[in-house]
Amino acid sequence: MKSAYRRTLCAAMALAGLSLTMAAPGVRADAWPTKPIKYVVPFSPGGVSDATARIVAEGLSQRLGQPVVIDNKPGVSGILGTQFVARAEPDGYTIMGGTITTHAVNPFFYKKLGYDPVKDFVAVNLVGTVSNVLVVANDSQYKSVDQIVAALKAKPGSLTFGTAGPGSSQQLSGQLFQSITGTKLQQISYKGGAAAMTDLIGGQIDLVFETVAAAKPMLDGKRVRAIGVTSTHALPGLPGVQPLADLGLKGFEMQSWQGIFAPAGTPKPIVDRLASEIAAVVATPAVQQRLRTLGVEPEGKTSAAFTAFQRAEVSKWGKIIQAAGVVPE
């Protein structure tokens, strides 16, 4: 009897184990999601990252049939919110809006980052890219790239440029400018781009590599003047303004970006569905128009393409930042 009982028990346990094994993936994309999804934005409300996330979340909620809820977790160049997502359960119910700052350059500015931007995440979809424009005050004596470079060659460090802090697109643009021209600019850090633009107009600093969307009102109001854009092509929103790469700065390309990441270990079927649904949202004409209003050029890159892109960005900017002698804090 005992032997028969043991055989029955073992068979039941084996069957249970088989059932668990079969259920373990629990990742059929068509069965997910069954509850709201948290979309972490590691920056304060009101900025480009936050606005981009809200546009995407709205469309994603409609397509998935579940609320996609924005959760702002700002702090230290996006580090706090990014750490939170890196430690989150990889079940498809926590995603985040990542940028060039959080997922490419932060490791080169901060020693104790608390996360690895590549190993701790799955790159889901590249929503779009954001170009900057090099601007000077409208009454500035500098009217071209050549004049700026000539002034810096004659007196290294004689010109200042404003940034929104370490790892910001303004700083990276300035760093690339110095790398390509072999010149030295003096960086003045601010808590945000708006403060830098105020000082630029007031004559306290000489240059700012500001995002196109932020600079546009000042350009339209004739308070600042555009020298060139950081993209490799002219932008429809800035007619007549040439790429810096076409103005003597060969190879100049700096575009920050807005992407969506999930914690490492998130099941591939869920990642693939997320990527596909986000791409569909980004491809919508109405969404593209809203993104372009923010200065975000729609992309919708797939997970594989975004992964390759992110790794190339880490490599590119790591070399530039390290060559500049930046020491992580």
Residue 27 pLDDT: 58
pTM for the model stands at 0.83
The domains found in the chain, sorted by start residue, are 29-129+255-323 (3.40.190.150), 131-246 (3.40.190.10)
Radius of gyration of the chain (CA): 24
Residue 3 pLDDT: 47
- For the chain, give the number of residues: 329
Residue 47 pLDDT: 84
| Cβ neighbours of 115 (radius 10 Å) | 21
Separation of alpha carbons 184 and 178, rounded Å: 6
Beta-carbon contacts of residue 216 (< 8 Å; ≥ 6 apart): 237, 238, 295
One-character DSSP codes across 168-206: -HHHHHHHHHHHHHT--PEEEE-SSHHHHHHHHHHTS-S
Look-up of token digits 């480009």:
48
Residue 252 sits at φ, ψ, to 5 deg, of: -70, 120
The tens place of each residue's pLDDT in the chain, 329 residues long, gives: 444 444 544 444 444 444 333 333 455 667 899 999 999 999 988 888 999 999 999 999 999 999 999 999 998 889 999 999 999 999 999 999 999 999 999 999 998 899 999 999 999 999 999 999 999 999 999 999 999 999 999 999 999 999 988 888 899 999 999 999 999 999 999 877 788 999 999 999 999 999 988 899 999 999 999 999 999 999 888 889 999 999 999 999 999 999 999 999 999 999 999 999 999 999 999 999 999 988 899 999 999 999 999 999 999 999 989 988 888 87
Beta-carbon contacts of residue 321 (< 8 Å; ≥ 6 apart): 105, 108, 109, 175
Asked if 228 and 145 count as a contact pair (C-beta separation under 8 A), the reply is yes
Alpha helices in the chain (DSSP H): 2-23, 48-64, 79-86, 100, 145-154, 169-181, 193-202, 212-220, 268-282, 285-293, 303-323
